[in-house]
Amino acid sequence: MANSFRVEFYKSAKVLSYFVIGIFVLIVGCLAIEILFSLALLKFPDSTIELDDGSSTPIFYLLIGLVGIVELLARIAAVVLLLIWEYRAFSNLSPLKARNLEFSPGWAVGWWFIPFMNLVKPYRVMKELWRGSDPDLDPQNGLLSSSPEAPSSLGFWWGLFLISNIFGRFADKTPDNQITTVLPVVVVASCVAGIAAAAILISIVRDITKRQEERFARVNSLQLAGLVPPALGEP
């Protein structure tokens, strides 16, 4: 069943997209460092550091943990910024005259927090956001997109995102006696998938934002020609 939410004004998501891209670049940097430390942990498992309680721990394992703290904080910020951007971008679909939408801005964000449904729905939301932002619209066809199919990169992003999280869960549950053997391999797998997912997401956020800017200009030009009702910009 199609949603019928109404938002009066278009508000560019460009500035928000810069923050989203910036925080994911930081995450990519953290993941790359974790890969280097994981490979060092495999090669130099006997390099240890003495702790205050008299015990010792592999130094590269400790460094992975320290970088992981920075990455965790960056991920929290990334979630907040991505959802704010997604809400803004999805809200823009109304003044951009997108039609036959399955989701609303609230549910575009809300599906991320519903167990099991969050394995599928956020991906479908992003696909709809891509299609609804298409600047190549046809005024003779109810302003529907002339290219309704979303790119395959969205599927790769979502698959890599899930894979990265699965390996991350395995890494968290690695037994202590496998810290220098199994853990580095799992961390590298998680980080490689995470870097690829983040890189694709950066491209998706940038492209959707650009598509919305172009669609807004196109809708305004059609409005000036009297072919569609007014699309209102930022008040």
Distance CA 60, CA 40 (A): 7
pLDDT tens per residue across span 132-157: 999 887 666 655 666 667 899 999 99
pLDDT tens per residue across span 14-63: 999 999 999 999 999 999 999 999 999 999 999 998 877 778 899 999 99
Residue 1 has pLDDT above 70, yes or no: no
Strands 144-145 vs 137-138: parallel, antiparallel or unpaired = antiparallel
The predicted model gives 114-135 an average pLDDT of: 95
pTM for the whole structure: 0.90
Backbone angles phi, psi at 115, to 5 degrees: -55, 145
What are the extents of the domains in the chain? 14-224
Q: What is the DSSP letter of 211?
A: H
